[in-house]
Structure 1
Amino acid sequence: MRIPTTSPVVVGVDGTAAGLAAVRLGAREAVSRGRLLRIVHAFTWAAESDSRLAAEQLLDEAAATAQRSTPGVRVDPQLVDGPPDRVLIQLSRTAELVVVGNTVPDSAALVQIVARAFCPVVVARGPRPPSGPVVAAVDGSPWSVQGLRLAALEARRRGIGVDAVHVVSRAGYRAEDEGRAILAAAMAAVPELRRARGRLLSGVPGPALVRASSRARILVLGPRGTSGAAMLGSVARHLLRQGACPTVFVHGPAVPARRTSSKSSSALAG
């Protein structure tokens, strides 16, 4: 087992089944990355119907769940005073990864965490067998290139391939050619991609990516898209509500796309 380093995997728990799903996913991520698993419950007197002791028992249950699901994981349970979004955003400054459940996908707290964290945020889903590739949504924005770079790292860690996907919402050869050019430029900007293929999807971007997520091990995307939304773009919100696999919302310095080369274009699947 790798020796844990200083930047932990942080998981937020709230006493729900979705929170425990996040704990199980976070435990696997922590061990595979050689990181400490920090399980956090944000405690506010106004919001808690039970006592602080009950909150500590909630943390004990989450820690036991992590250790049962992933033997060897090192766990650091913490009860932190403050609203969940503020607590997890602050902890994201020094975290490797933040993992949360999707108890209420449209809740203001979850949207704030996904949109404003300083590290990648993974929204866990219910239990499903790990299968399929890492799917990275590419839309031509610098953020999607950052997502593709993260997807390359995640795929290498798991020993699986990457599907870089772009959704074409207009019919016709010209729209498809533009989509292939966007994919080629993004893939050329991430030379560390291995076992990768470019795929064009058709339809409305949000629902098309939800369908792709049903066959993916994880899905990676930028939270703001080409519109540069202040919080979450419309596609990110759609995936937050309806994604079928763990969804990674990327944060960090945006990576500029490079020019498309004829060599990279020829590698794309039609």
Structure 2
Amino acid sequence: MPNPSPSPVVVGVTGTSAGLAAVRLAAREAVSRDRDLRIVHAFTWKHPSLEQIDHRARRTAARIVDAAVATAQRSTPGVRVTGQLVDGLPDRTLLRLGRTAEMLVLGDDDLATTPWLPSGSVLVQTVARAWCPVLVARGPRPQAGPILAAVDGSEAALLGLRLAAAEGARRNVPVVVAHVIEDDEEQAREIVDRAVEAVPELTDYSVRLLTGAVGPTLVRATSRARVTVLGPRGTHDAGLLGSVARTVLRRAASPTLFAHGSPLPAPAPRSVTEVYNRTGS
């Protein structure tokens, strides 16, 4: 029996259609990365005086895992998948597993059941605090278009651009480096230039300078993206999630990948002429 890959793709399931959409997406991601897929459901019901009810609840939870494993196998032949029922709170379980995961994948259950996005939700806690990238599924949709990377001058956005460059190279699709102009175009181009210079592995890309309110403008751009990549917080944001990340998390049309990882190394110098030759500007 082969040893499990050291950094699996981990997907959390809850028994909902959104969770199964996340399983299908996670299975494709695992196969494309040659990683194992690990499906987990966090089981939190436990009451010593209600042992019979607890046992039934555990059986129901186990069926959720089994159904998710079957979904992964049907949707993506060849996927190496295991399912696990884990005792513990969902957010703590996912954050712990994310320390050794290639990627965490979640459905957008929280977005469908509440008129706002509470900070205590599993989705917000995981997207904001994970150690590895977090991919949020958006249900069935064609996997077409470029990688959309939103940059704003923050360190988190640079991590996102580095991740987008790797995703574009792996999928053999271009990256669109997007920035929403907030003050003036010259300043916007400087922000994009610095971002591109910091990620020399970014080669197949173009630049889009957008106008409008930042969050809604990026949301509109996601409708033409295969995957949207951004950081969980911007330059001036505090708290768990930045305002733009929160808007994109709630309303993006494409699967959304939130960047986490190690800080970027110092970039090698790259001339402005080279940057604009590659972007076609």
Alignment RMSD (CA, Å)? 2.0
How high is the sequence identity, in percent, across the aligned residues? 58
1:260 Cα deviation (Å)?
Answer: 7.1
* Shift in alpha-carbon separation, 1:260–1:233, aligned structure 2, 3 A: farther
- Cα distance in 1 between the residues matched to 2:57 and 2:265: 49
The alignment status of 1:115 with 2:128, answered yes or no, reads yes
Moved >6 Å (runs of 4+): 46-49
The alignment status of 1:93 with 2:99, answered yes or no, reads yes
- Cα distance in 2 between the residues matched to 1:262 and 1:57: 56
The alignment status of 1:263 with 2:273, answered yes or no, reads yes
8 Å CA contact 1:145, 1:256 repeated in 2: no
Q: Max radius of gyration: which structure?
A: 2
- Cα distance in 2 between the residues matched to 1:212 and 1:69: 28
Partner of 1:12: 12
8 Å CA contact 1:143, 1:255 repeated in 2: no
Within-5 A mapping of 1:1-270 = 5-45=5-45, 51-105=57-111, 106-107=117-118, 108-170=121-183, 175-255=184-264, 261-267=271-277, 268=279
1:193 Cα deviation (Å)?
Answer: 0.9
Q: Deviations over 1:220-263 (max 9, x none)?
A: 00001112423100000001100100000101123277577322
- Cα distance in 2 between the residues matched to 1:185 and 1:202: 20
1:79 Cα deviation (Å)?
Answer: 0.4
- Cα distance in 2 between the residues matched to 1:124 and 1:254: 26
| Equivalent position amino acid for 1:141 in 2 | S
1:168 Cα deviation (Å)?
Answer: 0.7
SS in 2 for 1:225: coil
Per the normalisation by structure 1, the TM-score is: 0.93
Per the normalisation by structure 2, the TM-score is: 0.89
- Cα distance in 1 between the residues matched to 2:274 and 2:105: 34
1:17 Cα deviation (Å)?
Answer: 0.5
Q: Deviations over 1:165-218 (max 9, x none)?
A: 000134xxxx11111111111111111112111110111111011011000000
| Equivalent position amino acid for 1:147 in 2 | G
- Cα distance in 1 between the residues matched to 2:85 and 2:168: 33
Aligned length: 264
Larger displacement relative to structure 2 (222-231 or 142-151)? 222-231
